[in-house]
Amino acid sequence: MSSLHRLEEFELDVLKEVGNIGSGNAATALSTLLDKPVDMAVPKVSVVPFEEVAERVGGAEELVMAVFLRVEGEAPGNLFYIMHPVAAKRLLGRLAAMEVEEDLEYSEMELSALSEIGNILAGSYLSSLADLTGLGLSPSVPAVALDMAGAVLSYGLMQYGEMGDAALLIETKFLDAGEQLDGQFFLIPDPDSFAILFQALGVRES
């Protein structure tokens, strides 16, 4: 994956800032919805071998609740919001004022509410990114899955498959020590989107 390994240190920093602004906005949206503060860790930007991607959320077999959206527009990519299944239940309990039991059974209604929450968070992530870059970016209809982390995340790596054995992840953790509503955002820009992002941000000549 020649183009990925050629990314310079400052370019990775630029992508980190992209993650920071996007997820900062999403954290604000979540905090408004919850009416309580949501903390966010400093985003990590790294080129991760396929093998290790699922390790970022606890291993290939770890059960996760995932909301997936395809980023469409001028700099396409994949966006995941990944939660621990119990954290997802707590989020529903708090946000949608649903009576929830902390087990692994999800009703259609609960899944639909989760995908709407994912939609709101992803929408605020992307709209801040679009404002920053001046690029047209919009989220697809969200899809949810409660399944093994490896099976879910590998779906977002296919665009990289034909270029190498690693993908670039922009990763942000939401933290909420009190009630453990923690979640993780993964933005995985398509390999061809970097040049477009860098150009839009004025850090690379066209």
Partner 1 sequence: MIQQNVVKVGMADLNVATRGECIRTSGLGSCVGLTLYDPDRKVAGMAHVMLPDSAIAREETFNRAKYADTALPLLIEELEKAGAKIGRLLAKMAGGSQMFASLGKSDSLRIGPRNVESCMQMLDRYGIPLIGEDTGGSHGRTIELDSETGILYVRSVQQGTKEL
Q: Which chain residues interact with partner 1 by CB under 8 A?
A: 1-2, 50-51, 54, 59-61, 63, 68, 70, 140-141, 143, 145-152, 154-155, 157-159, 161-165
d(CA 184, CA 202): 28
Nearer to partner 1, 22 or 118 (CB): 118
Nearest to partner 1 of 28, 112 (CB atom)? 112
Tokens of 99: 């009576």
CB of 11 to partner 1, least distance (A): 20
CB of 147: closest distance to partner 1 in angstroms? 4
Tell me the closest approach of the beta carbon of residue 115 to partner 1, in angstroms.
9
Q: How many CA atoms lie within 13 A of 87 on its CB side?
A: 19
Query: φ and ψ at 20, to 5 degrees?
Result: -65, -45
Query: What angle is formed at CA 46 by the lines to CA 183 and CA 192, rounded to 5 degrees?
Result: 100
Place of tokens 């404002």: 131
Q: Output the smallest distance, CB 16 to partner 1, in A.
A: 25
